[in-house]
Chain A
Amino acid sequence: MAAYIVRRMFYMIPLLLGVTAVVFLLFNVVGGNPAYQILGKNASQEEVRQLEHQLGLDRPLVVQYFDYLRQLVCFDFGRSWATKQKISTMIREGLVPSLSLTVPSFVIGSILSVLLSLVVAFYRNRLWDRIIVILCVMGMSISILVYIIAGQYYLSFAFGLFPISGWEPGLKGIPFLVLPAGIWIIVGLGSDVRFYRTVILDQTGKEYVLTARAKGVSERLVMLKHVLKNAMIPIVASMTMALPFLFTGSLLLESFFGIPGLGNMSINAINASDFPVIKAVTFFGAFLYMAANLLGDILYRLFDPRIRLE
C-alpha cells in the first residue's frame, strides 16, 4: 500500500501542474490587467506600466509561470497585492472561522444523514420512508439562498432565535454558528439521505443479510451491525470527497452571516484581482481535493479488505 500511496502522490504532480496552468492562463488572459485594479481609475498609462514592472507582469508569460511554480514548490506564496499581508497569515486567519462553521456542520450532518437513511431503509416503502424521501427531494430542490434569506429573516430577525450575523472566536461564537450550520446541514441532508438510502437498500438485498435474517437476527441488529458496516464503504468515500470543501468554506453562508472565512476571502481576492491570493487558494483547494481522493481510496481498502491497492 505504501508503494501505491507514493505512486499516487507522484500522479498528483501533473494534476497540480494542470490546475496551476489553467488558473494562470485564466487570470492572465481573461481577468484583465490587475494594475488597473490596484491603481484605480485615475492612474496614468505610465503609472500602470511601472506597476506592471514592479509586479513582474511585464515579463514573458512563461517566466511568470515558472516563477509561480517556484513559489508553490517553496510554499512561499508571498504577500497579497491588496492587503500586503503574508498569504500564509491570511489563510491561517480565514481557516479558523471557516472550519468553525464547516466541521460541526459536517459531523452533525453526516451522523444525521446516516441515521435518517437507516430509518428510511428500515421503513422502506412505508409511510415514514415516503415522507422523508419527499422531504429530501423538496429540500434538494430549494436553493440555499432561500434557506439563508428565509432563515435569517424569520428565525433571526422575526423570532430572535439567533443572531442575524457575525462571528466570534471560541465558545462565544457558538450562537452565531447555529443558524448557518443548520442551513448547511439541511441543504446537504436531502442528497445525502437519498444516496445513503440507495446504498443501504442495495445491501439489504444481499445474501449475507438473508443469512442473518434466517439465523433469527433482529431486523434492527441486521441494519446496524451488518448492513451499515458494508454500506459504509461508498458512504465514507462520499464523505471523504466533501472534506476539501470544509477547508475552502462556503461563500454564500460566509457572506450572508458575516463569517470572515476562506470563502469570503477568496471571493474578495477574485474581485480585487489579487493574483497571489487566488494562486494560493486554488493551489490549496486542488491539493486538498487530490489528498481527499487518495484518502478515500485508502479508507476503501481499510473498510473492505477484498480491495487491493495496486
Chain B
Amino acid sequence: MMRLTAVLFFWCSILSFISCSLKQPVPGNVYRGVLADRIKGFDPSQCSDLYSHICQKQVYEPLYEYKYLARPYDIQPCLAESLPRISADGLEYTIHLRKGIFFSDDLCFPSGKGREVVARDFIYSIKRLADVRTRTTGWWLFEDKIAGLNEFRFSTRQLKTSDTADYLSDVAGLAATSDSTLVIILTKPCPYFKYILTMSYAAVIPHEAVEYYADEFLNHPVGTGPYILKEWRRGLRLVFEKNPKYVHGLYPVEGGADDSAAGLLNDAGKPLPFIDRLEYYTFTETQPMILNFLRGNLERSGIPKDNYNNLINPDKTLREEYTDQGIQFIRAEDLDLTYTTFNFKDTLLGSRRKLRQAISLAVDVDKIIDLFYNGRAIRAQGPIPPGLFGYDATFRNPYQGRDVERAKRSLAEAGFPGGRGLPEFEYLTQANTTSRQMAEKFTADMAEIGIRIKIIGVTWPEFLERLKTSKFQIAGLAWMADYPDPENFLQLLYGPNEAPGENAANYKNAEYDSLYRKITVLTDGADRLACIKRMQAIVAEDCPWIFDTHRVSESLCYSWLKNYKPHIVSPEQVKYFRIDTDQRKRMLGQ
C-alpha cells in the first residue's frame, strides 16, 4: 500500500509540475486568430481562399479598400490618394497615389531597405497577373476589362517558364503618367471595377521580390501593409509584427448610430494598427479551436456545428455561462448562395422546365437549414443575397419551399406521373461527410415524388473537372461574393459564361443575357434595379437552379477585443482591432 501511495504521489507531482509549467503568461498587445486551414501562401496572384486572403491582407495592400464600418459596403482609398477620377464615358480611371508609401525592408532590395511605391509597380502587378505563367486564380477578374491586357496575356503564352516576360512593353490600358499617377483604360464601362481594385489580386508587389525569390516568392511576402511576416510554421502558426514603415492608416471617423452606440467610433481618427503582434493558429479540427477559445487562448472563434447546441440557446442567444465570461455572440448575414444546379446539356433536365420545377418544389430547404446549418441560414428566393443592391426581401420564388403535392402535379404535367418513365439521375457531390449527407437528404426528398437519385461522390479536382466539362446532371454548389455587386451572382447564369465558364448549368436565355449585358454597364439606380428584378423573375420561372440558402455567419469573441465589426466581403480587418490588455489580464486572471 505504501508503495502504491508513493507511486501515486510521484505521478501527481509530475502532473502538477507539467500543469504549473503550462500557466502561460497573459499575452501583451497580441491578437490570436484562427485559420481553419493551411494557407496557400503570400502571392496575391494565388489568393483564392479565405485564409490566404486574411493573411495576405496584413502584408499587402491594393489601391482601394472597403470602408470598415459602412453598410452597404463602400470603398475608400488605401494606397490611392483619393477615389478614382472616372471619365464621362466610364472608360478611363485616373488614380493618384499616396506619396511616401514604402515597401517593407527586405533582402530583395539593394541594401535591404524598402523603396517607395510608384505607379509602375501597379502596372507590373497587373501585368504579372495577366502573365500566363503566373498561374493566377484571378485572371477572370481582369479578363476583357483593361484595353490591351488580353493581348499582353496572349504574348506571354509564347514564353517559356524560364523567360523573363517583357513587362516593359506597353499595354494600351495601363499607363503611369508620373510616379504617382496611374491611368487605367477599360474596354467597356464596368461599374464594379472599383471593387476589383480592392481585392488581394490587385495588391501591389515589388518586382524585386518576384525576381529575387522566384519560385519561392509566395513564401516571402514584401508589401506595404500594416504588418510584416515574422514567423511561418506551416500547419501550426503564422506570426506578424507591426510594419514600422506603415504610416498611412487611420481609424474611420464616420459610422452609423449603431456603430457609435457600440463604441466602434471611440478610436476615430487614430493611427493604425493598434495591435503590435498577430498570431494566427491553424486548426484543421474544430474541437481544439473551440476549446482554445473557451480557455481564452484565442480572441475570436467560429462555432463548430457539433458544439452549437452546447453554446447557443434554442432562441439563438449565447448561453448565460458564456456571456458571464465576457463572450459575445456575433451574427452577420453572409453574401453567399448555396444552390443545386441542373445541367442544361442533359437533354431531359435541360428541356423540361416542369420537371425542374417539380424537383425544386420537392426539396425541403427548411430541413436542410435545420440539419446542416443549425438554423444558420435563410431560404434563398433568388440568386442575390441580402445586403446587395437588387435584393428584394418581398420576392417569393413560386418554386422554392417544399410542396410535395404541387411537385407531384408538376411532375405529372412534365409527362412523368409518379416519376414513371424517368431515368435515375446522377447527383454530383464532393466525397466528404457533410456533402454526402446533404446528397442523401436530396435523394430522400426526391424519392417522395418518385424520382430516383444516384449519388456520385468525387474529389474536389474531379468535381471541378466534371463541372467544367459538363459531365454531370445535378450538382450541389455554393458561391460567395467576390465583390458586393449583384453582377457577381448574376454572371453565373449568363449564357456566354457556359461551361467551362462559371455558368455550370449551361443555362441560356436570350432575354436574361441581354439584361445581364445592360447591368454590367449601368450604375446602381432605377434602371439597373428593374433589369435585376426581371432577371430574377426569369430564373425563378426557368428554374436552372434550386435556390437553397443564404448562410448566416455566427461567431464568438471576447469583450476585450474592441472595434470588432464583422465584414463579410473583407473579413479579419485586424488593423482596426484593439485589445484591451488590462481587461484581458483581469478576465484571464479570474
Contact = CB atoms under 8 A, between A and B. Distances in A.
Contacts of A50: 132, 157
B19 A161 contact: yes
B3 interface: no
A115 interface: no
Given A32-B460, A45-B468, A54-B135, A175 B215 contact: no
- Of A39, A84, A93, chain B has the most CB atoms within 10 Å of the CB of A84
Contact of A265 (B22, B235, B500): B235
Contacts of B7: none
Contact of B468 (A48, A85, A165, A178): A48
A286 B138 CA distance: 38
B216 A45 contact: no
Contacts of B521: none
Contacts of A256: 285, 287-288
Interface string A260-287: 1000110010010100000000000000
Interface string A136-160: 0000000000000100110011001
A258 B288 contact: yes
B323 interface: no
Given A50-B132, A161-B19, A175-B21, A264 B218 contact: no
B135 A33 contact: no
A40 B48 contact: yes
Contacts of B282: 258
Given A51-B135, A157-B295, A162 B235 contact: no
Interface in B236-287: 236-237, 281-285, 287
A32 B137 contact: no
A264 B219 contact: no
B461 A273 contact: yes
A222 to B, nearest CB: 23
Shortest beta-carbon contacts, A-B, top 8: A32-B462, A32-B461, A260-B235, A40-B137, A36-B464, A165-B288, A45-B500, A37-B461
A164 interface: yes
Contact of A161 (B15, B41, B137): B15
B304 interface: no
Nearest to B462: A32
A218 B459 CA distance: 62
Contacts of A40: 48, 137
Contacts of B138: 42
Contacts of B586: none
Contacts, number: 139
A83 B287 CA distance: 27
Given A40-B48, A265-B235, A273-B460, 18 more contacts: A36-B468, A41-B502, A47-B135, A54-B161, A160-B22, A160-B295, A161-B22, A162-B18, A162-B19, A164-B288, A166-B236, A175-B18, A258-B235, A258-B282, A258-B283, A259-B236, A268-B38, A271-B460
Given A164-B288, A165-B288, A44 B22 contact: no
A258 B281 contact: yes
A44 B501 contact: yes
20 contacts: A32-B465, A37-B464, A42-B137, A42-B138, A43-B140, A79-B215, A83-B219, A84-B41, A84-B217, A84-B219, A153-B287, A160-B295, A165-B292, A255-B284, A256-B285, A256-B288, A257-B288, A258-B283, A259-B236, A273-B460
A241 interface: no
A165 B283 contact: yes
B463 interface: yes
Interface string A59-93: 00000000000000000000100111100000001
Contact of A164 (B41, B133, B297): B297
A271 B284 CA distance: 12
A38 interface: yes
Contacts of A45: 468, 500
A104 interface: no
A165 B234 CA distance: 15
B166 to A, nearest CB: 19
Given A48-B468, A156-B291, A265-B235, A163 B462 contact: no
Contacts of A18: none
A296 interface: no
A190 interface: no
A109 B40 CA distance: 37
A42 B15 contact: no
A206 B140 CA distance: 77
